[in-house]
Structure 1
Amino acid sequence: MTDLLYSAIEEELRSSIRSLLSDRVDLSRLETADPVDLKLWRTLAADLGFAGLPVPESAGGAGASWRETAVVMEELGRFAAPVPFLGSAVLATAALPADDPLLPELAAGTRTATLAVPLSTWDSPQWTVSGDLVGSVTTVADALTADVFLVPTDAGLFAVEGAARTPVVSLDLTRPVADLSFDGAAGRLVAADAGPLVERALLAGAAMLASEQLGIAEWCLTTTVQYAKTRRQFARAIGSYQAVKHRLADLWIAVTEARAVARYAADCLAADDPDLPVAASLAQAFCSPVAVKAAEECVQLHGGIGFTWEHPAHWYLKRARANAVALGSVAQHRARLAGLVNLPG
């Protein structure tokens, strides 16, 4: 039976990572030439072991589940943390077989990897690299900091350490993307059939991204409510005006619903439930627009300060907008969902 409630262990995990991120995340670094915080990533992955939460203990992981990983993703979204968690701890980790020698290294945080597919990939991707590792892949998430690339080809999935990386300007500076060229690179064959592994990784990515979108929406809602209680206009707190109350109440309902949808996707992934494809597409179709709406309301209800660079709201809006087209758009997931539940196109 699906459990949409957080366990005591999951809440303790949330408390510990929230405490860390509140002390360590500095969004001002996003305006520098090195936006990714690798020191924070090493703390999360190597020191605290969060990168290995869904990895069995026999493979060097923590032996927890994707539910705990979802809690981490929520908090990373809440703080817009610029770390390569999605690429390495989710996409690459989910794509590797349990007996692959790279998996314990990713779980321990000693190496970082990413799945070499465009960030917009969502279903049955076309391989753009041949079996002799000739070709390129565009807009790969977390590629600039990865030690290893998992490259799907028509001859199988390869682990490649060498690739030419070209940074690409992205709307979301908290998750840089890059174009990769593998011409002349050497790789190790991970599996002879890349299709099922990539499909599994994309489903895991979609499910976990929904939790990140939930975290974004929760931060935007909480921050806006706090502001509405203290900001005064015409001798009254703006939160006392009915129009503001209605907008925040509607947003609270949407975030509450998104929490249930995201938790269901995380639970299906953790339990290897056959309903995972439905749950993952449902989560993206629902949570993506909620995160965007929450970020837009955050900017607008903060008034003039919400439109300035000094307030962090714009980073959350950019991340929500970029996530809305990552691992499939809302329209694409709705179309797939319709097919999965036998609705007419």
Structure 2
Amino acid sequence: MKLVLSQEQQQLREAVRGFLRAAAPLRKAREGYDPQVYARLNGELGLSGLIVPEEYGGAGAGLADLAVALEETGAALLPGPFLATQFAALALTQVPDKELLGGIAEGRVAATLVQPEQDLAFDGTSVTGTLPRVLSGAEAGVLLAPAPDPAPGPGGVVLVAVDLAGPGVTRTPLETLDLTRGQARVTLEHAPARVLGRPPAGSGIGDRLCVALAAEQLGVLRASLDAIVAYAKIRVAFGRYIGSYQGVKHKLADMHGKLEQAESIVRYAAWAADESPGELPGAAALAQAYVGRACFEVARDHLLLHGGIGFTWEHDAHLFYKRAKADEVLLGPPRIHRARLAELLEL
């Protein structure tokens, strides 16, 4: 097991970080999704196709490489459907579809994936149901959803694709806590759906989603800590830099400890996804049980340590706080993942 980034991964990190610093600085996050930035992200760096196998036009990279990119997009609070599309790409690597994987690799297709607990009716050609909260549902062009297998025999689940611009689809943007990335309510009324296939047993799609999200959370955590450390070095109160006060520097040390633990957990989980599938369920549960909460706590404390200015609408602190909270519950609150981890450990 290797928890240190390789030279190629370090170069990937620097390339993504440099691009986002120039094309998507933090001040633009308030403006929401910019299709031109997204097109450049895929055209110049090919990030959308990073996890897509080479036979479908992608880079054929592993989840450890994708985690590096997601950490940087998380730190930049990148708006738009990038995370949602990577969720869809991770599902499609287990249920391959040439058309969709090729479109994602080329940056032509923005997709989103709904979670298995959604209740959809599927008659073999169309789906009906209401999806109350779909990540990037207003920006994505394709919806991937698990639906009951209509074929005779034992019940099962198939993955279907729905054109979100097609007939029978109604999308209603939602007012969400996170201002930098939207969600939408999607209502399907006999919307045409194409069957992609049945996910193989033990495919671990949900576990891979947990790892991908944890990588983004790691980026949010790191950027929050970097911001407050920089502020503590220049803010003066009562004739001293606030970073010199015991109450502040001890809190910063605690936040740094959470960062170190979170980074190790994410690196381990990404390695397990690529190299040791047997360890993935526990690693993924640990990633969401720990990293999700740690990310929110660091973002919360970084807002508080900014003092009065941190609570203003004009400051960026609340953007990190809101992204951290939205991410913390995106795949279920931490208690769900703690319970699953305890079950896997037979506690």
Q: Scaled by the length of structure 2, what TM-score is found?
A: 0.91
Match of 2:44 in 1: 47
Residue number among 315, 332, 336 corresponding to 1:332 in the alignment: 336
Residue number among 66, 84, 88 corresponding to 1:87 in the alignment: 84
* Deviations 1:176-221, CA, capped at 9 Å, x for gaps: 1111122132121101x35859x73322211011111111111111
Alignment of 1:128 onto 2:120:
yes
Q: What does 1:290-301 correspond to in 2, within 5 Å?
A: 290-301=294-305
Looking at structure 1, the residues matched to 97 and 74 of structure 2 have their Cα atoms a distance apart, in angstroms, of 31
Looking at structure 1, the residues matched to 186 and 201 of structure 2 have their Cα atoms a distance apart, in angstroms, of 22
Q: Is the 8 A contact 2:289 2:335 kept in 1?
A: yes
The alignment of Structure 1 onto Structure 2 pairs a total of residues equal to 331
How far has the Cα of 1:8 moved from its partner?
0.8
Structure 2 counterpart SS, 1:133 = strand
Q: Is the 8 A contact 2:25 2:76 kept in 1?
A: no
2:74 maps to a residue whose letter is: G
How far has the Cα of 1:82 moved from its partner?
0.5
Q: Mean Cα displacement is larger for which, 23-32 or 97-106? A: 23-32
How far has the Cα of 1:336 moved from its partner?
0.6
How far has the Cα of 1:46 moved from its partner?
3.1
Looking at structure 2, the residues matched to 87 and 11 of structure 1 have their Cα atoms a distance apart, in angstroms, of 24
Looking at structure 2, the residues matched to 30 and 103 of structure 1 have their Cα atoms a distance apart, in angstroms, of 28
Q: What does 1:120-159 correspond to in 2, within 5 Å?
A: 125-131=117-123, 132-155=126-149, 156-159=158-161
Q: Is the 8 A contact 1:152 1:194 kept in 2?
A: no
Match of 2:178 in 1: 172
Match of 2:154 in 1: none
Q: Is the 8 A contact 1:94 1:204 kept in 2?
A: yes
Looking at structure 2, the residues matched to 172 and 41 of structure 1 have their Cα atoms a distance apart, in angstroms, of 19
Q: Is the 8 A contact 1:116 1:149 kept in 2?
A: yes
Match of 2:155 in 1: none
Match of 1:120 in 2: none
Structure 2 counterpart SS, 1:98 = coil
Looking at structure 2, the residues matched to 263 and 109 of structure 1 have their Cα atoms a distance apart, in angstroms, of 27
How far has the Cα of 1:26 moved from its partner?
4.5
Alignment of 1:74 onto 2:77:
no
Structure 2 counterpart SS, 1:274 = helix
Q: Scaled by the length of structure 1, what TM-score is found?
A: 0.91
Looking at structure 2, the residues matched to 93 and 272 of structure 1 have their Cα atoms a distance apart, in angstroms, of 20
Looking at structure 1, the residues matched to 103 and 276 of structure 2 have their Cα atoms a distance apart, in angstroms, of 23
Q: Is the 8 A contact 1:128 1:153 kept in 2?
A: yes
Q: Indicate the percent of aligned positions where both proteins have the same amino acid.
A: 39
How far has the Cα of 1:12 moved from its partner?
0.6
Q: Is the 8 A contact 2:171 2:185 kept in 1?
A: yes
Q: Is the 8 A contact 2:29 2:77 kept in 1?
A: no
2:173 maps to a residue whose letter is: P
Q: What does 1:85-234 correspond to in 2, within 5 Å?
A: 85-89=82-86, 91-96=87-92, 97-117=95-115, 125-131=117-123, 132-155=126-149, 156-161=158-163, 162=166, 163-191=169-197, 193=198, 200-234=204-238
Query: Using a 3 Å threshold, how does the CA distance of structure 1 residues 142 and 201 change in structure 2: closer, same or farther?
Result: farther
Match of 1:121 in 2: none
Q: After TM superposition, which residue ranges in structure 1, 4 or more long, deviate above 6 angstroms? A: none
How far has the Cα of 1:239 moved from its partner?
0.6
Looking at structure 1, the residues matched to 201 and 183 of structure 2 have their Cα atoms a distance apart, in angstroms, of 24
Looking at structure 1, the residues matched to 191 and 44 of structure 2 have their Cα atoms a distance apart, in angstroms, of 32
Looking at structure 1, the residues matched to 206 and 40 of structure 2 have their Cα atoms a distance apart, in angstroms, of 26
How far has the Cα of 1:326 moved from its partner?
0.7
Q: Is the 8 A contact 2:29 2:78 kept in 1?
A: no
